[in-house]
């Protein structure tokens, strides 16, 4: 019998990660414009088909996160994207939050919306073949934020989402992303990430969420993108693992990392460093990258189907390198 625990376990399969292909129309549109491709609905569909039909993608991918428009879409031969993924043994995951809005009265902070009608939407997505969901909260770091009020509100919302998802036999992926952009140092990033994750699990327990059927999607802990001294991979690994030991309950089956604006190479190097000191931890650790996997494929494709095979090779190679990183066997000379 399929359970949330068995679904979570399949998403955390050894050597595999999760492809986050759930960009909104606006986000993927900007990415397409950067490679001189018209951001039309058809081009978005063609691009997603390129990703999902990459030969042997199932060797490295356990699940794919989809946007609402993608889960309803089909490949050029008429096969639904969900069925295409299921046929490869890949778990369809659906992004269910509806993005962020300004947190009124809290300058520099945002809150995630989408709880209204979430139960009905999750039920529909389950009927379409999705077996896991994802909800992202965003925590910016500034001089006066994140505030306790912002953290409490967004973590409570994450917990309510998780409870609703589990009530429909869907594995919730909870993503409390502490944003990489900013001038903060490593110590500040660790402080905020630890605080956010501690509050999140307090709220999950209060809302009676079953932690054995949930996955945390976490940022790496590293100094902000505008801080003069960028964090090396070894320090990222030590700080990130220390954060997890402080904040994450052992009952949780696993944690997947987001790339969060880092280059593909840096994301993989950080994953490799974490994997090297992962021994003995209670959680499975893997990746759930978007741009950290897709950027090379986008640059190879550039909207031209004659480049499709080249783009798919670029994606497959990025996936292979991250699979090696999960065993601590990646080095920068492989790039």
Residue tagged active-site, from 109, 175, 190, 294: 175
Helices (H), 141-185: 148-167
Residues 320 and 333: beta-carbon distance below 8 Å = no
Q: How many residues does the chain have?
A: 335
- Peptide bond before residue 146 is cis, with ω within 30 degrees of 0: yes
DSSP state of 43: H
Helix (H, G, I), strand (E, B) or coil at 170: coil
Output the six-digit token pair for 281. Answer: 């931890």
The answer to whether residue 217 is catalytic is yes
CB 181 within 8 A of CB 261: yes
Query: Does residue 38 have an active-site annotation?
Result: no
DSSP output for 116-133: TTHHHHHHHHHHHT--EE
State the catalytic residue, choosing from 217, 284, 295, 308: 217
Backbone angles phi, psi at 217, to 5 degrees: -105, 110
Q: Take residue 330 and report the two structure tokens written for it.
A: 């990646």
Q: How far is CA 189 from the centre of its chain?
A: 19
> Is residue 55 a contact partner of residue 32, using CB atoms and an 8 Å limit?
no
Residue 201's alpha-carbon distances to 8, 138, 172, 210, in angstroms, are 18, 16, 13, 11
Query: Which residues are designated catalytic?
Result: 175, 217
């Amino acid at each position: 019998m399929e359970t949330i625990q068995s679904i979570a376990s399949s998403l955390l399969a050894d050597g595999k990660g999760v492809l986050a292909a759930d960009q909104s129309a606006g986000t993927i549109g900007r990415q397409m414009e950067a490679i001189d491709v018209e951001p039309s609905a058809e081009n978005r569909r063609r691009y997603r088909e390129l990703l999902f039909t990459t030969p042997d993608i199932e060797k490295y991918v356990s699940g794919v996160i989809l946007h609402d428009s993608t889960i309803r879409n089909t490949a050029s031969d008429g096969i639904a994207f969900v069925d295409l993924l299921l046929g490869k043994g890949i778990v369809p995951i659906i992004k269910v939050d509806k993005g962020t809005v300004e947190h009124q009265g809290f300058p520099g902070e945002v809150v995630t919306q989408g709880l209204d009608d979430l139960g009905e939407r999750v039920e529909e997505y389950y009927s379409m073949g999705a077996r896991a969901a994802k909800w992202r909260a965003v925590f910016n770091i500034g001089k006066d934020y994140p505030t306790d009020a912002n953290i409490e509100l967004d973590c409570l919302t994450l917990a309510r989402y998780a409870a609703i998802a589990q009530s429909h036999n869907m594995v919730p992926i909870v993503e409390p992303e502490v944003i990489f952009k900013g001038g903060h140092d490593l110590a500040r990033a660790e402080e905020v990430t630890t605080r956010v994750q501690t509050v999140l699990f307090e709220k999950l327990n209060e809302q009676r969420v079953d932690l054995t059927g949930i996955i945390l999607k976490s940022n790496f802990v590293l100094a902000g993108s505008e801080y003069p001294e960028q964090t090396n991979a070894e320090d990222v690994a030590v700080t990130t693992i220390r954060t997890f030991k402080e904040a994450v309950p052992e009952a949780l089956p696993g944690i997947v990392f987001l790339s969060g604006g880092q280059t593909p190479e840096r994301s993989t190097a950080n994953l490799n460093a974490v994997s090297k000191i992962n021994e003995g931890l209670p959680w499975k650790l893997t990746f759930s990258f978007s741009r950290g996997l897709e950027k090379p494929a986008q640059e190879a494709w550039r909207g031209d189907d004659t480049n499709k095979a080249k783009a798919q090779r670029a994606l497959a190679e990025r996936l292979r390198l991250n699979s090696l990183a999960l065993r601590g066997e990646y080095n920068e000379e492989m790039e």
